[in-house]
Amino acid sequence: MTMMKSNLGSIGLQTTSMAAQMTMVSAMEKSTKTMAATNKQMDMNRFQQVIMDFEKQSEMMGMREEMLDDTLIDAFDDEEVEAEGDAVVDQVLTEIGLDLASLMADAPTRQANAAATRFDNLLPDAALLPPPTKVSAQSLH
């Protein structure tokens, strides 16, 4: 009796294994048909031409971008122009009587440190707060 149960169990496992293999064969068959249809539709010469055109256009775009970058750098990155601009600003400020260096000397410098200290002082108080409670979606309606 035990032997018969073992044989039946073995047959069941073999049947399951065969069904899995059949499913795998069916999937492979469908994949093969799909790949064959794709290969029939794909013109390799045209595909290669498209890739070559893409590479050519990409390279041309890169060269144009590089030329544009160089032009913009030449136009806007002139240290002499920047120095002249700074000199004009300094002259105007001097003419209207503003000495920026003396005004900046009186500006507060410890404001940021005070804010950080106030935040640090809050951290011990935060530990005394009760833990957050969970809110369900039903309690919101």
Task: Please report the pLDDT score of residue 50 as a whole number.
Answer: 94
| C-alpha span between 7 and 18 (Å, rounded) | 16
Domain ranges of the chain: 42-77
| C-alpha span between 43 and 53 (Å, rounded) | 15
Residue 130 has pLDDT above 90, yes or no: no
Residue 122 has pLDDT above 80, yes or no: no
| C-alpha span between 84 and 78 (Å, rounded) | 10
The values of phi and psi at residue 43, to 5°, are -90, 105
Residue 60 has pLDDT above 90, yes or no: yes
The model's confidence at residue 135, banded by pLDDT at 50, 70 and 90, is low
Tokens at residue 98, please?
């503003």
| C-alpha span between 111 and 74 (Å, rounded) | 41
Selected residue with higher pLDDT from 70 and 101? 70
| C-alpha span between 134 and 141 (Å, rounded) | 15
| C-alpha span between 112 and 119 (Å, rounded) | 11
